[in-house]
Structure 1
Amino acid sequence: MSDDLLARAGSLDATDPLAGFRDRFITPPPDELLSYLDGNSLGRPLEATARLMDEFIREQWGGRLIRGWDEGWLEWPLTLGDRLGAVALGAAAGQTVIADSTTVLIYKLARAAVDARRGRRKVVLDTDNFPTDRYVLEGIAASHDLELVWITTDPETGIQPSQVSSVVDEDTALVLFSHVAYRSGWLADVAEINRIAHAAGALTMWDLCHSAGSVPIALDEWGVDLAVGCTYKYLNGGPGAPAFAYLRRELQDELRQPIWGWMGHRASFEMGHGHEPAPGIRALLSGTPPILAMVPLHANLDMLAEAGIEAVRAKSLLLTAYVLELADAWLAPLGVEVAGPRDPARRGGHVTLRRAGFKELLEPLWAGGVIPDYRRPDGLRIGPAPLSTSFTEVHHGLSMLRDLAEKQQ
């Protein structure tokens, strides 16, 4: 059986139309890393990224110095935002910007949303969303005397339209959920949830951290009002890479973010008194853009545009289906459960496996060159990145997990 599963991995690798992209990534020596299964937490760097960083430091930063601001840097948050919107988000130009961290952008957009819906006192969120989403909304609610309406979600699935329909009403200002649930990998029905929220007059906001670059997204088509996501997972932007924000064009004159900085001013270099917000999406900016941290996005958006998000999604589904196949064959007899959706229409880019005692296996897995991600209380997230992960790599990683789980029994 094991030989058959390994042969299947080899066959899938041999027919993989995206296989050539793996050679573009920087990887440790084979004896140091057998299987990287945490692309949903931190993507690998590209060889092109290393070249671009060196060129930027030597030629743009070192060569042009402060002239670089006038020669393009000031526009990077907008031009890269438009590129990201076109390649990965289904967003027309002028609605996406690169800036700040995910947490800061969630605060900016959520504050802008509730301020624009004054008189409505409710904010709807779910109990199993990523902590920073919940914490930011808790802080806003505390300072603005708002009521948080909590939807209890099953950690193995995620937010359901029927749950949203049961709580939103004419007093709801904002709903905030994740497109792909960070714990289970549940892929939410964004369009239907938006329809329900909008029928009640509420604004919708989506966390795209676990879907951007992995799952096709259609923000304009789905009628999304606001969205935020990171660039260091499937977009391979690097540790601490800046996040992105989307604000639907029709709302840009109505919503005002609360952190008024000079880069979001109508005329940044006039240095005048009083804040006058810039027109359009630029008003979401606050401080000086993190230019050096944006450099990797140039290479990664080029690669994603070349590969195509639909092809990425097709391979992602094959990879996660293979993870499920191995889990059923090898790990289920050892008491390991799949703690997430099996239906490909509702499955994001990762699979969560659960068994008591998994925490103790993390150190020997890492020592053996197999790197998954651990989430309390007993979950291992298996997140193969479609452009950098092979099926054989998945086989190696799950086989080591199987061997360690057998010894643990």
Structure 2
Amino acid sequence: MDAAQLDAPQLDATDPLAAFRRRFALPDGTIYLDGNSLGALPAATPARLAEVVGREWGEGLIASWNDAAWVEAPRRIGDKIARIVGAGEGEVVVCDSTSVNIFKALAAAASLRPDRTVLLSETGNFPTDLYMMQGLSALTGVEAKAVAPGDVLDAVDDDTAAVLLTQVHYKTGAMRDMAAVTAAIQAKGAVAIWDLSHSVGAVPLDLEGANADFAVGCGYKFLNGGPGAPAFIYVAKRHQHSALPALSGWFGHTAPFAFRDDYEAAPGIERFLAGTPPVLGLAALEVGVDLMLEADMAGLRAKSLSLATVFREAMEPLCREYGFAWVGPADLAARGSHVAYAHPEGYAIVQALKARRVVGDFRDPDILRFGLTPLYTTHAEVARAVDILADIMAAGAWDRSEYKVRSAVT
């Protein structure tokens, strides 16, 4: 984009996704640039939850497991998410948390390669991915190994059972070529597992086209499913009858309501279910997923890149004057849908921005991170956010003791 194309009001006036903003309950006066951590509230969600609580639960009681199709929700919503991630029907199910689903995928992948003993990932990956590998290692004796990001493919060898990678890095926004990396992993006989937490609903995905083996992702970021929304797991159909689920819960049984003593895994994606589905969380997530399905993913990606371009261009003077440093790939096409800058006083600056009702977030040790959620973020908001940041830096408004005390969630 050249400078003439960076007129924020004009970009917003011609934005084909502009109508979606009215579908969210955003607080007046707040510029929300943290939808990559927790998506905004869809306007339809409160009424849907009230219906589930008041009518389906309050009046229907236990009959709603069948009458309101509660029991079908994990598979039904999974099939909807499959359309977003480029998977087929019966390859995605919604359940549990991202962490739990990572554990399931790792264990299932290891079961497909019983003669191999190493689970591989990268240093600096999102911690829960590494922690789950380490936990499975402690339980089973398989080795959990992490190497520098640029060394991952070279480290895959005859001992590697599975490689767990995040497609869009949670700090830098760097995005891997899923098809190319998957092919390289599989060429060495290992299984590819993808964490899509910062990808789903943010960038176009094609799990089938990439020949992915397993994938997981969360429902509370770009899918706008609400805090702690259920996650999802993708298992390619070619693995579903042979991969062994580590968590053999009753909803993963081939006949859960036969109440048999011995476990027999369901024949398809349902074997990756475990316990009773969280109905309220699923209902909220379905609203967000349905909303996402109305949007064109190519259009979402185009707007994401446009928002990032406006943000980066507006930040250039601040980088020169105040020492902000762009983090991650310079090529916006090689990034997901957030931008990141490093600054020694990053934590305090983020708190000062929040005091001015610009909500981004901070990641140790020095990263300011700003989510660009195309369904409801405008170019004018991005430009205004940088203007406010410039005011904060010019006045030294970040240099206050209360902004430097770390809180548990930033």
Q: TM-score range by the shorter chain?
A: over 0.9
Deviations 1:9-66 (A, max 9, x none): 1111111111111011101132xx2x11111100001111122111222221122111
| Pick aligned residue for 1:149 from 134, 145, 154 | 145
- Report the counterpart of residue 257 of structure 1 in structure 2: 245
CA distance in 1, matches of 2:308, 2:240: 38
What are the Cα deviations for residues 210-234 of structure 1, in whole angstroms up to 9, with x where unaligned?
0100101100110100000001000
Matching residue of 1:105: 101
CA distance in 1, matches of 2:141, 2:393: 49
- Comparing 260-269 with 236-245, greater Cα deviation is found at 260-269
From 109, 117, 121, give the equivalent of 2:113. 117
Give the aligned partner of residue 212 of structure 1: 200
Q: Distance in 2 between matches of 1:354 and 1:404?
A: 16
- Cα distance, 1:303 vs. partner? 1.8
- Measured after TM superposition, the shift of residue 144 of structure 1 is 2.3
Aligned with 2:290 (options 295, 302, 314)? 302
1:319 aligns with 2:316: no
Residue 295 (structure 1) shift: 1.0
Unaligned runs of 5+ in 2: 400-410
Q: Indicate the larger mover: 92-101 or 58-67.
A: 58-67
Tell me if 1:356 matches 2:355: no
Question: Are the aligned partners of 2:39 and 2:222 in contact in 1 as well (CA < 8 Å)?
Answer: yes
Aligned to 1:272: 260
Q: Is the 8 A contact 1:98 1:242 kept in 2?
A: yes
> Partners in 2 of 1:26 and 1:169 — Cα distance?
50
- 382, 395, 400: which is aligned to 1:407? 395
Q: Distance in 1 between matches of 2:352 and 2:316?
A: 22
How many angstroms does 1:372 deviate by? 0.4
| Aligned with 2:90 (options 77, 91, 94) | 94
User: CA offset at residue 6 of structure 1?
Assistant: 12
Following superposition, the deviation at residue 261 of structure 1 comes to 1.1
Give the structure 1 partner of residue 402 of structure 2.
none
Checking the alignment, whether the CA contact within 8 Å between 1:22 and 1:387 is kept in structure 2 is yes
Cα distance in 2 between the residues matched to 1:180 and 1:405: 30
Percent of matched pairs sharing the same residue? 40
Give the TM-score, by structure 1 length: 0.93
The answer on whether the counterparts of 2:311 and 2:382 sit within 8 Å (CA) in structure 1 is yes
Residues 42, 5 of structure 1: alpha-carbon distance in 2 compared, 3 angstrom cutoff: farther
Which has the higher mean CA deviation after the structures are superposed, 18-27 or 337-346?
Answer: 337-346
Aligned-partner Cα distance in 1 for 2:139–2:52: 42
> Is the 8 Å Cα contact of residues 207 and 227 (structure 1) preserved in structure 2?
yes
Deviations 1:77-112 (A, max 9, x none): 0011001101x1000100100000011111111112
C-alpha distance in structure 1 between counterparts of 2:321 and 2:193, whole Å = 41
Deviation per residue, 1:106-163 (Å, 9 max, x gap): 111111211221121122100011000011101112332223332213xxxxxx5xx3
- Contact 2:8–2:380 at 8 Å: present in 1 too? yes
Q: What is the rounded CA distance, in whole Å, between the counterparts of 2:4 and 2:393 in structure 1? A: 19
Distance 1:399 1:184 in 2: 23
Cα offset for 1:201?
Answer: 0.9
CA distance in 2, matches of 1:318, 1:219: 25
1:24 counterpart = 2:19: no
2:328 maps to a residue whose letter is G
Contact 1:173–1:203, Cα closer than 8 Å, also in 2: yes
**Deviation larger for 372-381 or 399-408:** 399-408
Distance across 1 between alignment mates of 2:113 and 2:171: 31
The 8 Å contact of residues 326 and 341 in structure 2, kept in 1 or not, is answered as yes
List alignment gaps of at least 5 residues for structure 1: 154-159
Partner of 1:351, secondary structure, is strand
Change in 2 beyond 3 A, CA 1:67/1:374: same
Q: Aligned partners of 2:310 and 2:12: how far apart in 1? A: 12
Q: Which residue of 1 aligns with 2:79?
A: 82
Q: Which residue of 2 aligns with 1:174?
A: 162
CA contact (8 A) 1:6 1:392 kept: no
| Structure 2 match to 1:157 | none
Comparing 339-348 with 234-243, which one deviates more in the overlay? 339-348
Q: Which amino acid aligns with 2:107?
A: R
- Offset at 1:302? 2.2
Given the alignment of the two structures, is residue 65 of structure 1 paired with residue 61 of structure 2, yes or no? Answer: yes
Distance apart, 1:299 and its partner CA: 2.1
Corresponding residue for residue 403 of structure 2? none
1:370 aligned onto 2:367: no
CA contact (8 A) 1:331 1:402 kept: no
Question: What RMSD over aligned residues (CA atoms) do the two structures have, in Å?
Answer: 1.6
Residues of 1 paired with 2:28 and 2:336: CA distance?
Answer: 30
SS in structure 2 at match of 1:213: coil
Q: CA deviation at 1:298?
A: 2.5
**Distance (whole Å) between structure 2 residues aligned to residue 405 and residue 325 of structure 1:** 17
What displacement does 1:329 show?
3.0
